[in-house]
Structure 1
Amino acid sequence: MKNFGEMKKIVCSLLALGYFFVAFGQQENLSNSTKPIHIEEPIDGYVAKTDLENRKVVPYANIRQTDIAYSKRVWREIDLREKMNKAFASPKSRLIDIIIDAVMKGELTAYDPTPSENDPNGDSFKNVLPIDQVMARFGGDSVLVEEFNENNEVVSSRYESRTFSGDHIVKFRIKEDWIFDKQRSVFEPRIVGIAPLIVPQIPGLESSAGVVSTGDPGAPSTDFDPFDPFSVPPAQQSAENNPAPVMPVSAGNNAFVPQIDPTPAFWIYFPEARHILVNKEVVNRSNDATGLSYDDVFIRRMFASYIVKESNPDDLRIKDYLNEGVERLYESERIKKSLMDYEQDLWSY
């Protein structure tokens, strides 16, 4: 009994000592504190989000070439102006800013999209784009700043570094393969590459886009910009200068309205980019505690897109054989449905 009593005292003493150290080492509750507390590294919130920073890429299942019973390559475009893709353009975690930052730090490799002899389509990841040329794809990395005097004369000029803004990137192109693995009986897409799309700045075409001209140099100025609310239509201008009836100018009557299609600034190899995207959180407008990364969004297909090309013998894009925008959209949906129908036709019920 005596030994039991001593043992009981020792155990109680150890428990009390442990409770003291735990209470002493625990940080005081910030919400209930009545005195100022100095914290060397404050946390932006009440919980430190460390799980996203420590995540690792979950590798794809291994596929042997002999197990691929069906394969189809498609090219898609993601428009960030669509409601479902708004998270890609969030200033808190913009996709283009993440990619540019990783490229400039040397964590990602940018590939030149210019067609060449060894890469006819420019999307085979064969030609590396030097880092010093990456920012030039977005309009240059410096801007000329001029200073004027009171007579509006240039007195000095200097070059200043241009601050990159991702607001102008509103589209991304995705290159992916749809594969049916007969070993696992799984039909799944695997993204191969991602490219931000830009509109090339061609000198002389910035002011002519959307402008209709009569083509007669001796006639009064009848340039009409449909996007300018103060621009006067050609018919109204002619009526003011000439009372005689004038035929309206159509787009096919000596008028040329250039249409510049977006083109990739560079290509990023997606299997390499996954190691960067897995640690970048996607902003969710409904819930801040989703914990989704950009890798999750792409792997789970949580985005809206439309197909612009599928692999074919003639290597044609949809716009190469369809002119109307609505017809192109229908063709994109037809290709999507054909992929889904292939999977459905594999099984019989």
Structure 2
Amino acid sequence: MRAVIFKRITWCALLLIIVGTEAQAQRRGSTRRRTAAAADTTTQPSATPDNTVVNPATGNAVAPPPAGAPDATPLRPDGVGTPVVDTPRKSLRVDGITAKNSVRDRTPLPYDNIREDDKFWEKRIWEVIDIREKMNLPFQYNVEDENGVNQLFINILLNAIKTGEVEAFNPIDDRFSTPMTYAEIQTKTSGEERTVRSIDPVTGEEKMVTTRDEFDPRTIVQYKIKEVWVFDKEAAALKVRILGIAPMVSRINEDGSLRASIPLFWVYYPDLRPVLAKYDVYNQNNDAASMSWEDLFEMRFFSSFVVKENNAYNREIKDYIKDGVMRLLEGQAIKDKIFNKEQDLWQY
């Protein structure tokens, strides 16, 4: 008797479970149908009597452009295909404890005059500044100041060339013989201008616009400098004069390996000094104690290695030494030779 009662209870429980499962499935199906119907009604733009269309994303009425009007004005404020002007964004409040002096009227001190007859000894060398070294981290400072001017060193050079404050020279040689325009620099960094077809996503108007690739200034990781070390016998001191600065661009092989690093353009450093005196250098130890870029170069607050000295064959170190470590040692030997030249002139 107990077994019969237990079987009946078991069958009743299974029947209740099946009925409940079917009811739940029916409820889910009806909910999905109602949701799909609501989605269909919301995705279809509703037209109003005044020939406007309701934007389903915002719910606002939008007037469509007149059909067959080729000269319709784009609804976007900047237009499509028109390059947006990258104007500096000035700070509207004092970004700090006190307001900084925005008048950049600093003038570099003139060099001491060295007569031709007082040049007892002279050595011309070429060095490379690698901004990935720890001492050269200020060259990577990529922020904007209160006036919205970018502080990256390569951007300072390009902006000075663009505004005509300094003239660039073609890297065909390092004697500053062939001037180079800003348009030519743009062609080398961003490629040739090309005309492409663009469609306005709002008006649907088709235009032919001129564009070019965007230049990434972070790809410049080395700078080449040309300088002269001279011993002034009147002042009895060894002095250095930087003649030129050139950003280096890398040329990559098809397999991704580095083929060569070549100068992008040359800038005559004495002409660049007034421009560099206007820009501050980032000080990672004290933001209040800043100096200008002109001070950084004149006080030699950078790390570099020699890649060439003036020689009879006009060769760089890499042309006769293949090992990288031996090149660095040879460049350091050239620096030591210059240092010892001054020390050997004194008697103790």
* TM-score of the two chains, using structure 1 as the length reference: 0.66
Q: Residue 234 of structure 2 aligns with which residue?
A: 183
Q: Residue 298 of structure 2 aligns with which residue?
A: 299
Change (3 A) 1:143 1:277: farther
Q: Whose strand proportion is higher, 1 or 2? A: 2
Alignment of 1:121-136 (within 5 A): 122-136=173-187
Give the fraction of aligned pairs with identical amino acids, expressed as a percent.
Answer: 36
- Alignment partner of 1:63 is 2:62: no
Shift of 1:318: 0.3
For each residue in 1:121-178, what CA deviation from the matched residue of structure 2 results, as whole angstroms up to 9, or x when unmatched? Answer: x010111012210111213265776789xxxxxx998543444321000000000000
Candidates 136, 139, 157, aligned match of 1:85: 136
For each residue in 1:199-220, what CA deviation from the matched residue of structure 2 results, as whole angstroms up to 9, or x when unmatched? Answer: 246xxx4x3345xxxxxxxxxx
Aligned length: 245
For each residue in 1:5-44, what CA deviation from the matched residue of structure 2 results, as whole angstroms up to 9, or x when unmatched? Answer: xxxxxxxxxxxxxxxxxxxxxxxxxxxxxxxxxxx96332
Contact 1:52/1:278 (8 A) holds in 2: no
Q: Residue 105 of structure 1 aligns with which residue?
A: 163
Which amino acid in structure 2 is aligned with residue 160 of structure 1? Answer: T
Alignment of 1:165-176 (within 5 A): 165-176=216-227
Candidates 129, 139, 154, aligned match of 1:96: 154
Give the Cα–Cα distance (whole angstroms) in 1 for the partners of residues 103 and 333 of structure 2: 38
Which amino acid in structure 1 is aligned with residue 302 of structure 2? Answer: F
Shift of 1:313: 1.1
- Alignment partner of 1:315 is 2:314: yes
Alignment of 1:212-291 (within 5 A): 260-291=259-290
Give the Cα–Cα distance (whole angstroms) in 2 for the partners of residues 263 and 101 of structure 1: 21
Change (3 A) 1:67 1:78: same
Contact 2:232/2:238 (8 A) holds in 1: yes
* TM-score of the two chains, using structure 2 as the length reference: 0.66
Contact 2:127/2:225 (8 A) holds in 1: yes
Contact 1:71/1:177 (8 A) holds in 2: yes
- Which structure carries more relative contact order (alpha carbon 8 Å, separation 6+)? 1
Give the Cα–Cα distance (whole angstroms) in 2 for the partners of residues 65 and 181 of structure 1: 9
Give the Cα–Cα distance (whole angstroms) in 1 for the partners of residues 322 and 190 of structure 2: 30
Contact 2:139/2:153 (8 A) holds in 1: yes
Give the Cα–Cα distance (whole angstroms) in 2 for the partners of residues 108 and 142 of structure 1: 25
Which amino acid in structure 2 is aligned with residue 105 of structure 1? Answer: T
Give the Cα–Cα distance (whole angstroms) in 2 for the partners of residues 127 and 188 of structure 1: 28
Find the residue that maps to 2:126 and give its secondary structure: strand
Change (3 A) 1:329 1:145: farther
Please identify the structure whose Cα radius of gyration is greater. Answer: 2
Structure 2 unmatched runs, 5+? 1-90, 144-150, 200-205
Contact 1:52/1:281 (8 A) holds in 2: no
Find the residue that maps to 2:108 and give its secondary structure: coil
Change (3 A) 1:74 1:52: farther
- Alignment partner of 1:208 is 2:259: no
Give the Cα–Cα distance (whole angstroms) in 2 for the partners of residues 91 and 111 of structure 1: 25
Give the Cα–Cα distance (whole angstroms) in 2 for the partners of residues 157 and 265 of structure 1: 31
Shift of 1:55: 1.2
Give the Cα–Cα distance (whole angstroms) in 1 for the partners of residues 103 and 226 of structure 2: 26
Find the residue that maps to 2:259 and give its secondary structure: coil
Contact 1:108/1:272 (8 A) holds in 2: yes
Find the residue that maps to 2:228 and give its secondary structure: strand
Give the Cα–Cα distance (whole angstroms) in 2 for the partners of residues 200 and 88 of structure 1: 21
